Amino acid sequence: MFSNKGRYPNASNAWLIGMAGPRQTRSLPVSTTQLPTSPVSYVLLLGVVAITLVRPMDLLTSLNNLPLYQIVLAVALMANYVGIRDQLKIARLRQQPATVCVIGVYLAIVMSHVTHLFLAGATDISFVPVMLFYLMIISLVDSPGRLQQFLKFVACTGTAMVALCVLDHLSVIEVAGITHLSREIAQGGASQNWRMRGVGVFEDPNDLATLVVFLATVCLWAHRAARSQGSRLLWLSALTILLVALVCTRSRGGLLAAAAAGSVLAYWRYGKTAVLCTGTLGLILLPILSGRTVGISGSDATAFDRVLLWREGMHAMMTRDFVFGIGAGLYEELDGLVAHNSFIHAFVELGFVGGCCFVGWFLFPALALYRVRRNRYQCSSQQLKILFPYVAAFLAAWCVSLLSLSRCYAPSTILVVGTAAAYVSVLERQLNPRRNLTRCDRSHLQILLTVSSVLLFMFFCFTRIAT
């Protein structure tokens, strides 16, 4: 807990201090009914997370044809049927606008095809397992203790996968399921590993770098919360591995995400001056650490090419497809590539309705965190107090990374959004008095529409000016 006594003499009992003074806010009723969850369901959820991060089907050739993810997810859903049903009750949905937005994206996917009379696309259920994965997270990660266990498990499992990638990239070991981007060496025409890649959904170096930043933020929290010197050393070792991995990916998007996370943590601890210093240092180190020329290009497109992709998408959206989009999964038909920007990708494929729902994934957890800090709400859990800035940090980092990646429907994005939503849900029950930080009502709908409209307008103006 950071002390604010010098700056706010009367705030000794306030655990979160904003720049403004205390505000009188209306305490909203919070449902106190919390159904008991099965330990078996929770263990199965951890299994789904492990498969999502490690991808044993890609590492072991003997498991190539086994739908391991679908099998474990199906068993977990059956074991947690009651918990998921509880999350879908109207009273619960009114208290969780982020959940409504996740469901809204699925409905927008359906409508994006129905409006074009593409019934085969409308019956595609590929997003359903992702949506159910989110529902499992928020229904099973329901206490401060479980939240801590869940984050530590994610950090350990993800770091283990990243460590395998680092060892393979440095030619210490050879893993059959991992291949890296290579380049030719001037002498002799030989090739060497240049940019490190992961497995499964993290095969792209930028995806892997984004995951590394998320894991590093969680490891920083675990190091901060550790009670023994041995635990701190273990988490410090994990951070070292992740730092090496971030450099090996040579991803500018990953470095920008790291700068976003670092800026949030610096602001929390030291204020605005630290954020300015962190941002300046990040801009200086960006071309050095990435080992590539200045810009935001990936391996297949320059920065200007990506802006052209954004412009093509915005042009396609500003037609009769403005409301429900051109159709989920059809962005590549515009110019042969995806948008490389998840927000533009969602707006173009799912229209303004689906784009608003996608923005809501991040807006409502962020709005809840902002209100807690601004209004100095008191929390009875010391664990949640320590974790608060790290949740804000990895949520900000993932948003920044999505500005250069198209991962609207990816399990990795849902893992981060679900973790943030679960934290907010647990936090609401630990506030004194209990209250809803966000809610499905007209005022929150107006906030969502306003933020989405401003974001879309900014993207539209940028693509016009830059091209």
Say if residues 254 and 206 touch (Cβ distance below 8 Å).
yes
Q: Between these two residues, 340 and 65, which has the higher pLDDT value?
A: 340
Q: If you average pLDDT over each of 277-281, 286-290, 402-406, which comes out highest?
A: 402-406
- What 8-state DSSP symbol labels residue 309? H
pLDDT score of 26: 46
Would you put residue 262 in left (φ > 0), alpha (ψ -120 to 50) or beta? alpha
CA distance 374 to 368: 10
Would you state the structure tokens that stand for residue 282, as one six-digit string? 């990040």
| DSSP letter for each residue of 144-211 | HHHHHHHHHHHHHHHHHHHHHHHHHHTTSS--TT---EEEE-TTTT-EEEEE---SGGG-SHHHHHHH
CA pair distance 271, 269, nearest whole angstrom:
6
Q: Is residue 462 part of a domain?
A: yes
Number of domains in the chain: 1
**Residue range 375-388: average pLDDT?**
91
- Round to whole Å and give the CA distance between 455 and 138: 27
CA distance 12 to 5: 6
Return d(Cα 390, Cα 455) in angstroms, integer: 25
- As a whole number, the mean pLDDT across the chain is 84
Q: Note whether residue 389 is domain-resident.
A: yes
Distances in Å between the Cα of 303 and the Cα atoms of 84, 251, 340, 363, 460 are 42, 13, 10, 27, 16
pLDDT at 269: 80
CB 360 within 8 A of CB 408: no
Position 460 pLDDT exceeds 70: yes
Per the structure, the complete domain to which residue 347 belongs is given by 82-140+299-467
Burial pattern 75-86, b for ≥16 Cβ within 10 A else e, equals ebbebbeebbeb
308 located within any domain: yes
Taking residues 409-425, report their average pLDDT. Answer: 95
pLDDT of residue 120: 83
Q: How far is CA 115 from CA 122, 124, 324, 350, in A?
A: 9, 15, 7, 11
Which pLDDT score is estimated for 12? 34
pLDDT digits (tens, 9 = 90+) for 66-122: 788 888 889 998 999 998 999 999 999 999 999 999 999 999 999 999 998 888 888
pLDDT > 90: percent of the chain: 52
Helix 252-270 to helix 229-249 angle (10° resolution) is: 140
Q: What is the pLDDT of residue 61?
A: 67
Confidence of residue 232 (pLDDT cuts 50, 70, 90): very high
pLDDT for 200 beyond 60: yes
Tally Cβ neighbours within 10 Å of residue 24.
Answer: 6
Any domain includes 285: no
Residue 134 lies inside a defined structural domain of this protein: yes
Is 444 inside any structural domain?
A: yes
Helix/strand/coil for 156: helix
Asked if 121 and 324 count as a contact pair (C-beta separation under 8 A), the reply is: no
Distance CA(51)–CA(45), nearest Å, equals 10
Identify the pLDDT of residue 144. 94
Q: Does any domain span residue 390?
A: yes
Whole-model pTM? 0.86
Higher pLDDT, 214 or 274: 214
More confident residue, 243 or 274: 243
Is 358 a member of any domain?
A: yes
> pLDDT per residue over 65-82, tens digit each?
778 888 888 999 899 999
Distance of CA 301 to the CA centre of its chain: 24
The predicted pLDDT at position 14 comes to: 38
Rounded to an integer, what distance in angstroms lies between the CA atom of residue 307 and that of residue 285?
24
Please tell me the distance from the alpha carbon of residue 403 to that of residue 393, in angstroms, as a whole number. 16
